[in-house]
A and B are shown apart, each in its own frame.
Chain A
Amino acid sequence: MLTLKRTFIFSLRCLVLCGAAFFGFITLPASAEQPLTCAVTPGNIPITFTYHGAQLTVTGQSAIGDDLVVTISTEPEDALLKYKAKVGGLVWMKKGDLEFKGVPAIYLLHSTAELTRILGEAERNQHQLGYDALRQRVVIEDSQGNPAEGKWFDEYLKFKNKEMVYDIKEGAVTRQHGEEGNTYRASIAWPYQAPPGIYTVRVFAVRDGRVVAKAADQFEVKRVGITAALSKMAFEHAAWYGIMAVVIALFAGLAVGAIFKKGGGSH
């Protein structure tokens, strides 16, 4: 009885899957030749004691002739930043807050060619590809809720670029035709400034100005070892952390003071 039921459910699942595949085929006919795949290595980035960012390699297969766009972007969120302005016509100071609504904290994009050449504006906006697409969506307000000037998005990009967490490299994705069919490859520098977390890599296949297929993979950035232990202690056992910091500093100072006196008698 039980086996019968299982078989039934199984065949039902198959039916659903087949249906999904069929409709997928209808909506994205372009992926007929070779399905788009995406794999990122390494899948785990440990934040060790000597961490200085990482090199990510994104590879996969794609249909012949398709352009490709690879992105690593976080979900849009609201970012509160302080801005500097001239005060009293003389000095530059932090003057107030600006809220940037609906922007990703991290946005890295690599593509086979210039985005404006391979994709229409509507498609770019829909899939949030390129800085202009981000600019379309962002709402910038000051602390009173008044809309701020558009130039502040340029300042935002400058700020994020300097932090290395925003970057666009057009033409950096390479394609090859070999034994494994059509493959692509993107080498992405992962900045140490990006906080630990789980990130999604997305690849978009582009043909005739439209996105025709999508694929994705994930990787995790995680603190390990001493780095993880210290940061845990700093936040969860703050008092002990403070005492440890003071005691070790005191001890180190006194020890070196004592050593110097003994070693350098002539001074």
Chain B
Amino acid sequence: MYMYLPIALASVNYLVVVGLGLAVGLLSGLFGVGGGFLMTPLLMMIGIPPTIAAATDANQIVAASASGTFSHWRLGNVDFKMGLFLLIGGFAGGAFGVQIIKILRATGGADFMIKMTYVVMLGLVGSFMFVESLNALQKSKKASESDAPAKPKAAKKAGGFFAALPMQTYFEKSGVTHSALVPIVLGTFVGILAAIMGVGGGFLMVPVMIYMLRMPMHVVVGTSLFQILFTCVEVTYLQAYSNHTVDFVLALLLLVGSVFGAQIGTVLGRKLHGDQLKILLSIIVLAVTVKIVLELVMEPSILLSYAGGH
């Protein structure tokens, strides 16, 4: 039942870990998020040191997102062109974000900033998605009740400022036209925040693609997974190489669960409506926000921890 993790120096029940992988992999396939914002705290709860939890999770997401990207690609749900532009921005933003963290660490008070950024971003994204998708669900219900034929969707073209930018490109898979600068800049922004918060940024990237790039939900999921795959390959390698914080045994246990979870999630996702997916994701994001706020406000039972975590 127990397996010893050579880097984390912890002994864990492997059924629990595989189960965690399955659950988070399912979310990954459903929503196109890496699930780091859920997995890292869960791993810490079963006794894995924080730095190792975060690095190992990136390794596990490589498997889950490869599995998810593959099946979404077969379904025609990956917009490679958009993904590439987001990726360019994401890499630049990530590098910039790491520098910001260094400056923050030097001045002190980095932890406070990080936690607050986390709570505010999760809270904002969660609430916005929840309200928006609730409205959309009610509208579609009304529409079906009145039996009116579904209105043809408004041409997916962002107006005003976005349209005035140079390098206008048509993204066939998503059926939208944007300046190539838009995904690059948005990718940079998400990359910076993700680096500061120490997460992959899927839960930020997904809303950005839905609401700012106006991509259809199913393409959003596939494209997000594609983008996450590359980010996590980079993070895994760098963490293993410079910090020795990737526990391969733990990653294997997690990925056994998560690759299957991702498949189940993909299949399940096709049976759900886009707005239903959004509302589910927003509920999960809000629940995580509440949990973090509670942890911040309530007195912890143990006031000491080993140095090295963040």
Contact = CB atoms under 8 A, between A and B. Distances in A.
Contacts of B255: 249, 252-253
Contact of B297 (A53, A90, A235): A90
A234 B304 contact: no
A3 to B, nearest CB: 54
Given A94-B111, A254-B70, A50 B248 contact: no
B246 A242 contact: yes
Contacts of B241: 238-239, 242
B251 interface: yes
A250 interface: yes
B58 to A, nearest CB: 9
B237 interface: yes
Nearest to A195: B9
A223 B6 contact: yes
Interface string A66-92: 000000000000001111111100111
Interface residues of A, number: 60
B66 interface: yes
Contacts, number: 178
B259 to A, nearest CB: 4
B151 interface: no
Nearest to B119: A91
A261 B263 CA distance: 9
B65 interface: yes
A258 B66 CA distance: 11
A267 B66 CA distance: 19
B63 A253 contact: yes
Main DSSP-derived SS at the B contact region: helix
**Which of B6, B70, B239, B295 has the most CB atoms of chain A within a 10 A radius of its CB?**
B6
Contact of A249 (B63, B70, B244): B63
B241 to A, nearest CB: 5
A215 B241 CA distance: 45
A100 to B, nearest CB: 9
Interface stretch (A155-163, A181-189, A204-212): A155-163
Interface of B: 2-4, 6-7, 9-11, 59-60, 62-71, 74, 111-112, 115, 233, 236-242, 244, 246, 248-249, 251-252, 255-256, 259-260, 262-263, 267, 270, 295-307, 309
28 contacts: A49-B3, A49-B4, A52-B11, A81-B307, A82-B304, A82-B309, A84-B303, A91-B296, A155-B303, A159-B303, A192-B4, A193-B10, A223-B6, A227-B4, A231-B7, A234-B244, A238-B241, A238-B242, A239-B241, A242-B236, A242-B237, A246-B237, A248-B248, A253-B65, A256-B67, A256-B260, A257-B69, A264-B267
